[in-house]
Amino acid sequence: MTRLAGQWTADNETRPAPAPLDRVQALVNTIDIEIAQDRFALVEDARPWLVEQHLLDAGVPLTEDGLAHVRAVREALRALLVHNTGGPPPGAGHLDVLREVAAAGRVRAEIDDHGAVELRAVGPSLDERLAGLLVVIRDAQRDGTWSRLKACANDDCRWVFWDQSRNRGGSWCDMAVCGNRLKNRDFRARRRAAR
């Protein structure tokens, strides 16, 4: 372990999404881009987290290729969340990564004791487990909560936050810190351009 629990930025999420959407947020926030702290840089850091999140079966090894794939899925999901903040739609490369996960996944309908029907991804492989997140996204897209999960509009940050603002118009993970930093930078750039 290169870092103890509680020392990763996401261990102290300030604007957490409600369950189960918090699982998507947690995956994308495994990297703090601003301080270059990546839980998926090393297998030894990534593996226990993926098992804890039920994205990896405890009996399945995590290869370097598998880890690189999870990193690609993470950035593909971030591309969707950048779009939720008003950024460009996800590119073909990002969509291909998610389509790969979708193609490898298997989903089964289950009926609980109250008769409620739920979709669940089945299978032990990494992609089959990741497909479970696609079910979460699909449900959120239908119930309208998906658009409130956003990637920070600051290019240097891109932290994923739950938009709690009344008009759903939030763009920054933290207006006081990230929003002001960005505004100051833009202000300086405009002043330079004006000179």
The binding site for Zn ion (CB under 5 A) comprises 152, 154, 157, 159, 173, 178
CA 31 to chain centre: 10
Nearest distance in Å: CB 51, Zn ion: 29
Residue closer to Zn ion by CB (options 121, 173) is 173
- CB nearer Zn ion, residue 34 or residue 100: 34
Rounded least distance, CB 178 to Zn ion, Å: 3
Euclidean distance between the first and the last CA atom of the chain, given in angstroms as a whole number: 50
Q: How far is the CB of 109 from Zn ion (least distance, A)?
A: 38
Shortest approach of Zn ion to residue 172 CB, angstroms?
Answer: 5
Rounded Cα distance between 126 and 46, Å, is 13
Cα 97 to Cα 66: distance, rounded to the nearest angstrom = 13
d(CA 25, CA 7): 17
Contacts of 50 (CB under 8 A, 6+ apart): 56, 62, 70, 126
Q: Tell me how far apart the alpha carbons of residues 146 and 137 are, in angstroms, rounded to a whole number.
A: 7
Residue whose CB is less far from Zn ion, 129 or 150: 150
Question: Least Å distance between CB 170 and Zn ion?
Answer: 11
Query: Closer to Zn ion at the Cβ: 47 or 78?
Result: 78
Q: Which is nearer to Zn ion, 77 or 173 (CB)?
A: 173
The answer for residues whose C-beta is within 8 angstroms of residue 15's C-beta and 6 or more apart is 161, 162, 163, 164, 173, 174
Q: Is the distance from CB of 126 to CB of 100 less than 8 angstroms?
A: no
CA 186 and chain centroid, separation:
27
Which two structure tokens, joined as six digits, stand for 1?
């372990």
Q: How far is the CB of 158 from Zn ion (least distance, A)?
A: 7
Nearer to Zn ion, 30 or 105 (CB): 30
